[in-house]
Amino acid sequence: MSDRDAIVIGGGVSGLSVAWWLGQAGVASEVWEQDGRLGGKIATREADGYVTERAASLMLNFRPEVSRMLTASGLDASRVMCPGPPANQRYLVQRGKLVPVPSRLGGLIRSPLWSLGGKLRLLAEPFAPRGGRPDESVSEFVSRRLGRELLEKAMEPYIGGPLASDPDLASAQAVLPRLVALERRYGSLAFGVFAHKVLNRRTAPVHEVFSFRRGMADLIDALASAPGVSFRTRHTVTQLEPARSGWRVTARTPEGERTFRASHIVLSVPAPRAATLLHSLDHELAQLLRGIEYAPVTVVHLAFDRAAVRHPLIGTGFLVPRTENAQLTGCQWVSNVFPNRAPLGKTLLACYLGGARAPETREWNDNRCIDAAIAGLAPLLGIDAAPEQVWVDRHDCALPLYHGAYSGRLRAIMERLKRWPGLQLAANYRGGISIRDRIGEAYALAQSMHVGLAPRGARWPVAGLPSLPICAAHRSSS
């Protein structure tokens, strides 16, 4: 049996980020991944001059921890920024046509997206009464503050597309924590945004949207280059047991069964997998984790000759509201967003199907998914030719759904976890699904682990960032 300070089970972006931050603090750790490669769902494919992403294709960042990681890892030099106006124009589908989404208040009022009643309701937001149940859904919160029209035409496409969720079921506290916090503090979203701009005008975070020169594979490679971290692929954990001063973990490996002992175990795997590993140890904790639902998402990448697409494609893509009755939730115009994603004279489009809105797509074969994507795109973009190349990426359990009384479920999970010192959870069902949030949450968790692993009195050694209270590592915000 071998000893380790920390073993991270799961080599996706969450687990790799925890190991990276531990390495920055001088804590040796190992990452065990049951697959033959690191990165989890994130993977970049290069073929015939096209660059496609199996899952996440970009990052939106405003967290200082993420900026620190990008600088320290050398990724700053590899960043490719999303273009500015007008090349970053986004669209919504309305009555079968693409309508630009305004980025400023004046454009919002003039936009044909909203009816006169919808605009008046939006302007009345500061006068809407404060309140709402603790387990209020996104639909209830947005309708109460901004009106039903804005929910259906703007918020639902975002919740149903990038988050693959259902606003009627999704917890407002879990999915929109910043908006909920603005209402609680200021009584109004408009007043809250204005106050933040006035009071924090010098310190407000800058929002950046970017990818990397070789795609998201650059991020995975950088995280996997952390000092003091060992990586072991094809290690499938079969048993977790409390042991003296830590944990005993057994894995099935290409060299046979191996058992290790570690002070800390980080479970960075989907909730159902974590539930299976913890079932014999803590039935109640396993049940709480098993109750977290996941939505399927299929990504269909379509390559066309540019002349076959009549739309000017000035922008980044579009989202589709559920009122349009489509399994297609959105499309990113990949070759417009970042350079060198398609050969000269070609266009690359990434189409997204499924989510909580259309879970039946999980059962579709690739051809049916491709047909649905093309059927949704053709009338919107004026496409009159078959795609020259197609790639399909399927994720049966793509994203966790923050449905129901989700914040209460997370509190119960964290309360139950206190019974097992040294056992940590780090995955996208806790703290947000974005890569930004995964890196930021990993920072807080690594810092709390450092307290238990470092000599008494030792301070968090990561330069340029503050030492957080330990409880910050256990917050839940998306």
Domain ranges of the chain: 2-41+215-292+403-474, 44-58+80-84+294-400, 101-199
Q: What is the pLDDT of residues 448-467, one digit of tens each?
A: 998 877 666 567 777 556 55
Residue 250 phi/psi, 5° resolution? -115, 135
Judge whether residue 57 has pLDDT over 90: yes
Residue in 174, 178, 197 with CA at minimum distance from that of residue 105: 197
The string of pLDDT tens digits covering residues 277-316 is: 999 999 999 999 999 999 999 999 999 999 999 999 999 9
Domain 2-41+215-292+403-474's class? Answer: alpha beta
What number is the average pLDDT over the span 7-33? 95
How do residues 252-273 score in pLDDT, each as one tens digit? 999 999 999 999 999 999 999 9
- For position 1, what pLDDT does the model report? 47
Residue 427 in contact with residue 271, Cβ under 8 Å?
yes
CA angle (57, 58, 61) in 5-degree steps: 155
The answer to which of 125-134, 217-226, 449-458 has the lowest mean pLDDT is 449-458
Could you name the CATH architecture of 44-58+80-84+294-400?
A: Alpha-Beta Complex (3.90)
Phi, psi dihedral angles at 196 (to 5 degrees): -65, -40
Handedness of CA 249, 438, 316, 334 (dihedral sign): negative
Q: Which position has the higher pLDDT, 320 or 87?
A: 320
In the prediction, which pLDDT does 4 show? 81
State the average pLDDT for the chain.
Answer: 89
- CATH level 2 (architecture), domain 101-199: Orthogonal Bundle (1.10)
**E strand intervals along 175-245:** 208-212, 229-233, 236-243
Contact 248, 259 (CB under 8 A): yes
Rounded mean pLDDT, 15-20 = 96
Give per-residue pLDDT as tens, 271-286.
999 999 999 999 999 9
The single-letter DSSP state of residue 84 is -
